[in-house]
Chain A
């Protein structure tokens, strides 16, 4: 038996009121996350992935369900207790500049968090610790005196990571931490996150729309669509044998760099867009876009069920040898592309 998970998310929902209507941002999401592991959450905009990250940290209050962190139900904690637990759970954002105070030096921003959490006995001890952290994330200790605008995007993200690390967290929610960075810098940051996990045993909840990045860093992956988990499996299993038609469509949509011209696949566009979470479709949320949809899918919501060991999908047809080949909406072949 594996150890008790460090994070247990159990049937969590979050609905927002928007102009008298209900927006179902997150709908009955459950997963377990073991200490030192990484759970990736993928989905398109509006899928609820960022809301879920905030529910886990109790930056938002869930409408139903429980978030159990290190054995404690976060919703039951008083605010002063919650504050002290916060040091164990940190977040790294997509836009590091927006999450840093422009008038505060890098050192002040990091030390401020330590002061709030009463870490370090003196200012000089905190300064020393800050310099060590900056060095650890690949910056010069002298960066303590820099202002955020003086840094590149990659360096700002390193500061964001240093600040999250300053409290010695056990869980770090990474919300699209690479999306604003150039590709060469993305690789540097992902390697840094992996090293830190190996050294410090940190647990990551890694939210991203980038399937390749999620596969690379995650042990387990959850695919969200309109606030619901449509598929969940080990990272390699999920991307090698996707069972849900939505996961398959997502994977087909990502444009890969072909090895050579002859291997370039046709551009295949999936029809339609994600419906508004204000008026989700009946039955399976994906049925209006699904090439495999049958009458049952319009009426009956498929439950998340096990299709093979450790692999779950919410699709009536999952497990029935669902194939990647489905009628594409528009097809432009390489020969058409070449003819100009």
Chain B
């Protein structure tokens, strides 16, 4: 693990909600190396964004890191002072988010915004920053950089704004880029353009990328490793090859069976019954057990640890071996189960739980 860029171990994050607490991240561990793309997938409330935002010191509201370490360049990011973290953010670690408009200053020319980060981090001189901005605009696919330098964000399309965000994020040549749903707000034809661009930038500087996404199509087409989060825990962590061919957690299998693509037939769809709920106490059993068709007594009593299953393949399920053994046979049907009318009944009852702590 010595060559990892960022290594997060046993991260815990809690939110205050009135008199109670919401346990948003419950012992998550993950790491990313140079030139590697780590995908973090999961549904709303799974803790996928909260995990990464908390490491960056960007938790909002009542969120608090209550445990864990996040080693980056020999330092634990969770122990740094705010000023030290600000030095690292934007210089060594770049970030892009889903909605570029909310991250751009509407009253500032985009060229000045790109330059600002380089100047505040003393990356280069004013003249150097200007020249690098023109170079960056060209690299991210914004033509006529000199003219566009003077444009304001509202004069750009959503895709072009995301390109500006990317230029800002990589201006200081960060070693790590965090991309939180970077293409979710974009049209499909533009989405691929942005993913190709990220890949090109990565190849140049061996930048590590953490890509947070709910979109399996995106994750499986650009990531080297994928971790699946649920209830603030890592359910499965696998190299892409295993994620595709040997998913070992019933939740992973269920999510893959829920993906609707061109050509998907109704009878192939496997809805996962029920829905994720916010945890108001730390999990003591498998948090997915209540929705899992394979759940046994043990799953309701004992928290499954994240354990190795193959080379680089980890899973937090007591029955992972059975999931693997059943693969290719009837596992889909067992795990997802055909649904029909019975979903409704299971979904009811949970009114007023799965609120807050949106990832």
- 8 Å CB contacts to B: which residues of A142-168? 142-143, 146, 149-155, 158
Q: Which residues of B128-180 have CB atoms within 8 Å of chain A's CB atoms?
A: 157-160
Compute how far the CA of A209 lies from the CA of B196 in the bound complex, rounded to whole angstroms: 21
B349 touches A140 (CB 8 A): yes
Contact B341–A187 (Cβ < 8 Å): no
Is B270 interfacial (CB 8 A cutoff)? yes
Q: What distance in Å separates the Cβ of A337 from its nearest Cβ neighbour in chain B?
A: 7
- Interface 9-residue window, one of B53-61, B76-84, B198-206: B198-206
A333 to B340 alpha-carbon distance, docked (Å): 40
Q: A215-B263, A251-B262 are in contact. Are A137 and B351 (CB under 8 A)?
A: no
Given contacts A255-B217, A258-B220, A260-B244, contact A138 B36 (CB under 8 A): no
- Cβ proximity bits A317-337 to B, threshold 8 Å, 1 near / 0 not: 000000000000010100011
Task: Tell me, yes or no, whether A3 is within 8 Å of chain B by CB.
Answer: no
A185 touches B (CB below 8 Å): yes
Tell whether, in the assembled complex, residue B354 and residue A152 are in contact, meaning their CB atoms are under 8 Å apart: yes
Indicate the member of B255, B259, B345 with the most A CB atoms within 10 Å.
B259
How far, in Å, is B240 (CB) from chain A's closest CB? 6
Task: How many A-B residue pairs have C-beta atoms within 8 angstroms? Tell me.
Answer: 195
B347–A337 touching, CB < 8 Å: no
Contact A209 B244 (CB under 8 A): no
Q: Does B271 contact A (CB under 8 A)?
A: yes
The reply to whether the CB of B261 lies closer than 8 angstroms to some CB of chain A is yes
Residues of B contacting A259 in the complex (Cβ-Cβ under 8 angstroms): 244-245
Chain B residues, Cβ within 8 Å of A58: none
B43 touches A183 (CB 8 A): yes
CB pair B217–A254 under 8 Å, yes or no, is yes
Most buried by A among B158, B189, B340, B345: B189
With A143-B351, A186-B258, A253-B188 given, is the CB distance from A212 to B264 under 8 Å?
yes
Range for the number of chain A residues in contact with chain B = 35 or more
List residues 194-249 of chain A with CB under 8 A from any CB of chain B: 194-195, 209-213, 215-216, 239, 249
The residue of chain B having its C-beta at the shortest distance from the C-beta of A276 within the complex is B157
Which of B43, B192, B217 touches A270 (beta carbons < 8 Å)?
B192
- Give the complex CA separation of A258 and B215 in angstroms: 13
Is the pair A211, B269 in contact by a Cβ cutoff of 8 Å?
A: no
Please indicate the chain A residues that have their CB under 8 angstroms from the CB of B35 in the complex: 340
Among residues of A, the one whose C-beta sits closest to the C-beta of B246 is A260
- B343 touching A138, Cβ below 8 Å: yes
Known: A150-B355, A253-B188. Is A184-B271 also a contact (CB below 8 A)?
A: yes
Contact: A187 with B159, CB < 8 Å? no
Out of A142, A153, A274, which one reaches B187, CB within 8 Å? A274
Residue with the greatest number of chain B CB neighbours at <10 A, chosen from A186, A188, A254, A268: A188
Residues of A within 8 A of B221 (CB): 255, 258, 264, 267
B334 lies within 8 A of chain A by Cβ: no
Chain A 173-187, CB within 8 Å of chain B: the 1/0 string? 000000000111111
Residues of A with C-beta under 8 A to B350: 152
CB-CB < 8 A to A267: which residues of B?
Answer: 192, 195-196, 199, 221-222
The smallest beta-carbon distance between A265 and chain B, in angstroms, is 8
B224 touches A340 (CB 8 A): yes
Q: Is B312 an interface residue, CB under 8 A from the partner?
A: no
Q: Check B111 for interface membership: any CB of A closer than 8 A.
A: no
CB distance from B263 to the nearest CB of A (A): 7
Provide the bound-state CA to CA distance between A138 and B190, in Å: 36
Q: Which residues of A contact B306 (CB under 8 A)?
A: none
Residues of chain A with a CB closer than 8 A to B254's CB: 184
Query: Which residues of A have CB within 8 Å of B189?
Result: 44, 249-250, 253, 269-270, 273-274
Q: Are A239 and B263 in contact (CB under 8 A)?
A: yes
Contact call A187/B269, Cβ cutoff below 8 A: yes
Give the contacting residue for B203; candidates A45, A253, A336; CB below 8 A.
Answer: A336
| Pair B157/A273 contact, Cβ less than 8 Å | yes
Known A-B contacts A138-B343, A140-B351, A186-B258; A209 and B43 likewise in contact (beta carbons under 8 Å): no
**A256 in the interface (beta carbon within 8 A):** yes
Asked if B352 is at the interface of the complex by the 8 Å CB criterion, the answer is yes
Complex CA distance for A188 and B191, rounded to whole angstroms: 26
Contacts of A195 in B (CB 8 A): 340-341
The chain A residue sitting closest to B224, CB to CB, is: A340
What's the Cα separation between A182 and B269 when bound, in Å? 14
Provide the residues of chain B in CB contact with A249, threshold 8 Å. 189
Q: Of the candidates B160, B188, B352, which one forms a contact with A254 in the assembled complex, judged by CB atoms under 8 Å apart?
A: B188
A257 within 8 A of B: yes
Given A184-B254, A188-B271, A264-B220, 15 other A-B residues pairs in contact with their CB atoms under 8 A: A138-B345, A150-B355, A182-B43, A182-B214, A185-B275, A187-B272, A192-B344, A212-B259, A216-B266, A257-B217, A261-B245, A267-B199, A270-B193, A273-B157, A332-B200
Q: Identify 22 residue pairs between A and B in the complex whose beta-carbon atoms are under 8 Å apart, listed by A's number.
A: A137-B344, A139-B347, A146-B351, A146-B352, A152-B355, A155-B275, A184-B254, A186-B258, A186-B260, A187-B260, A187-B269, A187-B270, A187-B339, A188-B339, A190-B269, A212-B263, A215-B262, A216-B266, A250-B188, A253-B188, A258-B244, A273-B187
